[in-house]
């Protein structure tokens, strides 16, 4: 696929997806959504890729949601029942079934629909200049899918409601995002990308079958009763260990001391 709104590279088993519409603050249009969807499929289907990192070019913003300045027909067709959720193309997990870890590096503005990229990420880092807000309320648009995804990540209900209802007046700083659990680490802008790739490289060195089973079991548990989630997790452990068994010394050989 010819890429015009993102870049896609692979090195040391890590795929790096970079949003590349800095003049539009990396707001997503149909083309970017389709390219991101292609990228998630590449990550999913390429065995040599073990981990993905999502980042963005430009000084001001990681992503500011939907680009309302272009053609909106891809989201708002004439038949209202044919409308789609942008997350179908932008989000890695429940549509694209990407069970490889996704590390997201957020800098600058992260607004509204940008949450599609965060809500199904496995590890989120941000720079100390990052700020998270939702402009839906300012323009009279329902904010539903993005905040629901935040709830699933464990962000407290009261904070999600403030974020969704107060529009641009409610800005979550990097330090507050860390406190709420929206991100797990805050770095300087200069260190952000290097730190995200350091984490990705560390994970990429591990057994990819075991890692994918771990990711899948944890995410699927969010929609299951505890007993069902434990049964599902046990099944994945047995499947993963059968295919790429944990290295054990043979019965008649002494263990290797390292």
Residues 145 and 157 in one domain: yes
Indicate whether 226 and 119 sit together in one domain.
Answer: no
For position 116, which CATH number holds? 3.90.226.10
Check whether residue 62 and residue 159 sit in a common domain: yes
pLDDT digits (tens, 9 = 90+) for 126-159: 999 999 999 999 999 999 999 999 999 999 999 9
Instruction: Specify the pLDDT at position 252.
Output: 44
Residues 227 and 152 in one domain: no
**Within a domain: 155:** yes
Spell out the SS3 assignment of 2-51: CCCCEEEEEECCEEEEEECCHHHCCCECHHHHHHHHHHHHHHHHCCCCCE
Dihedral of the alpha carbons of 46, 38, 115, 182, in degrees to the nearest 10: 10
Same domain flag for 200 and 214:
no
Residue 1 is assigned to a structural domain of this protein: no
Q: Are residues 83 and 193 in the same domain?
A: yes
Same domain flag for 221 and 161: no
On whether both 26 and 103 belong to a single domain, the answer is yes
User: Among 128, 124, 129, 132, which residue's Cα sits nearest to residue 104?
Assistant: 124
- Asked if the structure places residue 248 within a domain, the reply is no
Residues of the chain below pLDDT 70? 242-258
Q: What is the pLDDT of residues 87-130, one digit of tens each?
A: 899 999 989 999 999 999 999 999 999 999 999 999 999 999 99
User: Structural domain tally of the chain?
Assistant: 2
pLDDT at 25: 97
Domain contains 113? yes
- Asked if residue 156 lies in contact with residue 215, where contact means CB atoms within 8 angstroms, the answer is no
Question: Whose CA is closest to 232, among 241, 242, 224?
Answer: 224
Asked if the structure places residue 250 within a domain, the reply is no
Position 249 in a domain? no
Are 199 and 212 within one domain?
A: no
- In angstroms, the Cα distances linking 27 to 19, 34, 246 are 9, 13, 44
Q: What is the pLDDT of residue 81?
A: 85
- Alpha carbon distances (Å) from 196 to 1, 20, 25, 232: 26, 18, 21, 30
Q: Give a yes or no: residue 258 inside a domain.
A: no
Q: Domain range holding 99?
A: 6-204
- Whether residue 136 sits in one domain with residue 216: no
In a domain, 186, yes or no: yes
CB burial of 90-115 (b: ≥16 within 10 Å; e: otherwise) equals bbbbeebebbbbbbbbbbbbbbbbbb
Q: What is the pLDDT of residue 242?
A: 63
């Amino acid at each position: 696929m010819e890429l015009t709104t993102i870049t896609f590279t692979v090195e040391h088993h890590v795929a790096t997806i970079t949003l590349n519409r800095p003049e539009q603050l990396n707001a997503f249009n149909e083309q970017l959504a389709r390219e991101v969807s292609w990228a998630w499929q590449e990550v999913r289907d390429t065995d040599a890729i073990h981990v993905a990192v999502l980042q963005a070019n430009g000084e001001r913003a990681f992503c500011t949601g939907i680009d309302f300045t272009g053609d909106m027909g891809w989201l708002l067709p004439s038949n209202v029942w044919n409308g789609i959720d942008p997350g179908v193309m932008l989000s890695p997990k429940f549509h694209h079934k990407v069970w490889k870890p996704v590390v997201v590096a957020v800098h600058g503005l992260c607004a509204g629909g940008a949450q599609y990229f965060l809500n199904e990420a496995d590890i989120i880092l941000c720079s100390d200049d990052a700020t998270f807000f939702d402009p839906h309320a300012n323009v009279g648009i329902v904010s539903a899918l993005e905040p629901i995804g935040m709830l699933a990540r464990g962000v407290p209900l009261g904070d999600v409601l403030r974020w969704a209802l107060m529009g641009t007046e409610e800005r979550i700083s990097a330090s507050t995002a860390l406190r709420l659990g929206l991100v797990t680490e805050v770095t300087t802008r200069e260190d952000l990308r290097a730190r995200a790739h350091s984490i990705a490289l560390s994970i990429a060195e591990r057994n990819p079958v075991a890692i994918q089973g771990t990711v899948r079991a944890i995410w699927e548990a969010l929609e299951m009763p505890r007993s069902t989630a434990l049964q599902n997790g046990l099944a994945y452990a047995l499947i993963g260990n059968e295919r790429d068994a944990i290295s054990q010394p043979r019965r008649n050989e002494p263990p290797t001391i390292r």
